[in-house]
Structures are given as C-alpha cells and as structure tokens.
Chain A
Amino acid sequence: NAGVTQTPKFRVLKTGQSMTLLCAQDMNHEYMYWYRQDPGMGLRLIHYSVGEGTTAKGEVPDGYNVSRLKKQNFLLGLESAAPSQTSVYFCASSYAIQQATDTQYFGPGTRLTVL
C-alpha cells in the first residue's frame, strides 16, 4: 500500500514551458487535492476533485489546470510556467463526506523551479 505518490520529485522549467504533475493514490479515496507550499505561506489549495470526472477551484487556481480521468489519479498542469510558480507542490486525498472524516493524506511533494 503506497498511499499517495507524486511524479516527478523534482523539476526545473524555463519560463513559458509546460508540464504535468501526476498524483496517484491507492486508498480508494474519493477526494483529491493539489496544494502549493511557499516559504512563510503554509499550504494553499490550488484545485481539488470530489470524484472521478469532477474538478473545482481552490484558493489559488490561476495558471493551473487539473484533470481527474481516473479515480486514483489527479493531474496538475502548468500550460505556461512562470517564476511565481516556483514552489513545492503537494497532492493529498481523503474519503468522501459520507465517511465523516476530513483527514487528508499527503504525498511526498514535487519541488518545481521555474527559471
């Protein structure tokens, strides 16, 4: 049981390049999330998904797109990377509301640098 995994672990991009971050979970969780963590800012929600085929905007969605084609995967895309998107990105997942817990389980993170 790997929990939540993220690919890649590190990436360096040039301004304007695009990339996709992959998140996978094997806990059969309905909900999945993408956060970014910046120094002194805590964790900020980018986008989230409440189930396969659904996505919704979080606190800081601009410049990012997401897709949830399979229940176990949640992809985060940067179409045209900017230096302001240099950050550590965390994926998380949790059970659905009906299971009455808001505990989220996090992946190890992807460190992205945009030059």
Chain B
Amino acid sequence: DQQVKQNSPSLSVQEGRISILNCDYTNSMFDYFLWYKKYPAEGPTFLISISSIKDKNEDGRFTVFLNKSAKHLSLHIVPSQPGDSAVYFCAASVRGNNRLAFGKGNQVVVIP
C-alpha cells in the first residue's frame, strides 16, 4: 500500500521556467516531509524538508509547500536549470521513528 504517491512520473521544462512536482500522502500521522534528488548512478541526496507545523519552507531556488488538510505537498524549482535534471523523490515520516516512506519518484528534464 503506497503511503506516498507521486503521479506524473516525468516532467519536461524549459530552462528558466518553474518546475512543480506534486506529492500526496495517505497516512495522517506523517508530520515530516522531505524531497530527495537523484542523478543516474548516484545515491539520493537530501534537498529540502518541511515540518507539519509549517506550510512553506524555502531554500534558494527550492520551495516546498505543505497542505495538511489535503495531505498534499509540492516542490517548486525557480528558475529551473539544466543541472536540475534528475529524479526527485518525495518522502514522509512520523517524526522520531526515523523511517521514511518514499514515493516512486518524478523524472525532471530541464531543456536548455
């Protein structure tokens, strides 16, 4: 049973435009959410996170928005750069149990 869902497996966007990745979750106990970025033949690397006490967290070009009532979060990348071409995983946890539930990932291609 997939507790974290990422639909629209791939996204193509022009350089300089906004990339928006969406993630839905089913477990209402989740209170900490993360995005990981993965290049081919490398391990996932942590990108940005958000606690359930917030509805927005920003780090440079990356912003994560959380809508708890809809059990939905999104990652915005502005402006998109060719180096952002990667697979992005959404993950969620119940804070403190150190186990992450991952989505299936979204492939992002930024076209120069």
Give me the interface of A with B, judged by CB distance under 8 Å.
4, 31, 40-45, 48, 50, 58, 90, 92, 94, 96-97, 100, 102-109
Interface centre among B6, B46, B89, B99 (most CB of A within 10 A): B99
B15 to chain A, nearest CB (A): 27
The 7 closest A-B pairs by CB, nearest first: A106-B43, A42-B104, A43-B102, A42-B102, A102-B93, A106-B44, A97-B96
Chain B residues contacting A31 (CB-CB under 8 Å) are 98
Report yes or no: A41 in contact with B43, Cβ–Cβ below 8 A: no
Chain A residues contacting B44 (CB-CB under 8 Å) are 43, 90, 106
Give me the interface of B with A, judged by CB distance under 8 Å.
4, 6, 9, 32, 34, 36, 41-46, 49, 89, 93, 95-100, 102-105
Interface centre among A42, A50, A107, A108 (most CB of B within 10 A): A42
Report yes or no: B98 in contact with A50, Cβ–Cβ below 8 A: yes
Residue of A nearest to B96 (CB): A97
Report yes or no: B89 in contact with A90, Cβ–Cβ below 8 A: no
Residue of B nearest to A31 (CB): B98
Report yes or no: B97 in contact with A108, Cβ–Cβ below 8 A: no
Chain A residues contacting B46 (CB-CB under 8 Å) are 103-105
Residue of A nearest to B105 (CB): A42
Q: A40-B104, A103-B34 are known contacts. Are A97 and B97 too (CB-CB below 8 A)?
A: yes
Complex CA distance for A40 and B9, rounded to whole angstroms: 9
Chain B residues contacting A4 (CB-CB under 8 Å) are 43
Report yes or no: B32 in contact with A102, Cβ–Cβ below 8 A: yes
Chain A residues contacting B105 (CB-CB under 8 Å) are 42
Interface centre among B41, B45, B95, B102 (most CB of A within 10 A): B102
Q: A90-B44, A103-B34, A106-B45 are known contacts. Are A45 and B104 too (CB-CB below 8 A)?
A: no
Report yes or no: B104 in contact with A41, Cβ–Cβ below 8 A: yes
Chain A residues contacting B104 (CB-CB under 8 Å) are 40-42
Chain A residues contacting B96 (CB-CB under 8 Å) are 97, 100, 102
